Structure 1
Amino acid sequence: MIHVSATPVLALRGVSKRFGAVQALTDVTLEIRAGEVVALVGDNGAGKSTLVKTISGVHPVDDGVIEWEGAPVRVTKPHDAQELGVATVYQDLALCDNLDVVANLYLGNELSTAGVLDEIAMEKRAKELLDTLSIRIPSVRIPVAALSGGQRQVVAIARALIGDPKIVILDEPTAALGVEQTAQVLDLVERLRERDLGVILISHNMADVLAVADRVAVLRLGRNNGVFDVADTSHEEIIAAITGADDNAVTRRKARTDQLKKEAGA
């Protein structure tokens, strides 16, 4: 059982963001603690990407406060977020296909001794990191272009851990992956939780969300529309919060199923 601390590592308090006349976020509150996975869900245009970019320093907030370990902080550029301990793995992964796994893991953070790249140290630490995360790839010297989609995703996540962050943001990490590759990535998300990291998981896939998240935060039209404990909620309740309607195909199907069960038991 992972201990989840009382004080959030990261908290957004009443955060708002505008782009000209467009109000992208309005009075949004979110808390992420060490050792928990919080899924951020919402329809297209709900504000998920904007929220992630405010946390990662791409879009400074217009109103509200970002807190880090209980104290207000200024996050006005990506470097600020990285310095605090926020690592973001975007959907495009930004891996260099022609470079091997070691070079990708240390891109921009290369280890050197007396001005010379320390390839041996980087390879050793890369292997250790992948081993501790139970990431299996044929070799750390294989070009990233030769890896499967799932392997590329876990390498991108591993790279985010090089700087020893406390919060990891994963943007649609299982999009376009097959069943087996998705399972590989979700296993890694659970291992991030076991390492006492706070994880923000952005996903459209409710099965993935319910499989690994502890809590689900719903955004609708740039506002909070509920935070649900996965242990105490249902797929239908989350869908209703996302769509803003209790009556939709998912809830109707559940109602029909419940009615059939009731009739069968009568």
Structure 2
Amino acid sequence: MGSFICKRSFQSLISLIVLVMLVFFLARLTGSPADLYLPQDASAAVRHDFNEQMGFNDPLYVQFVGFMVGLLHLDMGQSLQFSRPALDVVLQAFPTTLMLAAVTMPLVLLISIVTGSLAAYKPGGIFDRLASFISLLGAATPNFWVAIVGVLVFAVTLRLLPTSGTGTPLHWVLPVAVLTLRPTGVLVQVVRTSMMTALSAAYIKTARAKGVSSRAIVFVHALRNGLLPVITVASDQAAGIVNGAVIVETVFGFPGIGKLMIDSVLLRDFTVIQAAVLVTALAVFVINILVDITYALVDPRIRYN
């Protein structure tokens, strides 16, 4: 197990380095920060001094080497918009995004496992058809559209929920609901398919012949054997929730890493963009490694091989 985790960590490190390189060079294609942080009538000399002070006059390869050297010391540079270390700005915003994902993912798993299992127990029934229709609709609906409609209906028209912010628990209802919809729709279909396969196995027929209750058959015997495909897709959806927070946080004004990243792109704050992508990628890689460990805990065959 230890060697496997080390191997996966090394592969993640290579992917992380490639990602950081792409973000570093692509961010600078958006233009010069001097166009945003200096007056429009600023002279060429003022622009030159600004770029010289910030290091933007150096060749790109020199800037990249300086960035990598700083990264080794956990120094990702100063934020132009906050005048603070970029990593500090990102780490201050990231807990909000993690909390949003931590609230959303358990809801997704609970709703998906219960709904998908019950739908698989009687395929073709009324509940199965209704669950399949709603889940497919949820999986196909874009987050940004649901977020805007949610604000229009529940915040503007009915005035039941606030439009933005994080002041009270009510502020979390719409963002969590929007983030829950799409991954739940995907996972319900995965759980349903996996459980239908598990419920058709011979050991399930034996359990029924012995008089085991339907609840125990579905949620004890069949569920554990049908969990591996669910874990695979759930890990992708968990990473998608972190990435999808960019849209949700922007629409609802959530002070998380998603909104920070969008603002930084618009303001050409390169150091914050790089730090935000790096921290988010690290979180996704950690999730993937935890999923691999979960595989081994759920299925002993993987652990022994």
Give the number of the structure whose residues are more often helix, by fraction. Answer: 2
Length-normalised TM-score, structure 1: 0.22
Give the number of the structure whose residues are more often strand, by fraction. Answer: 1
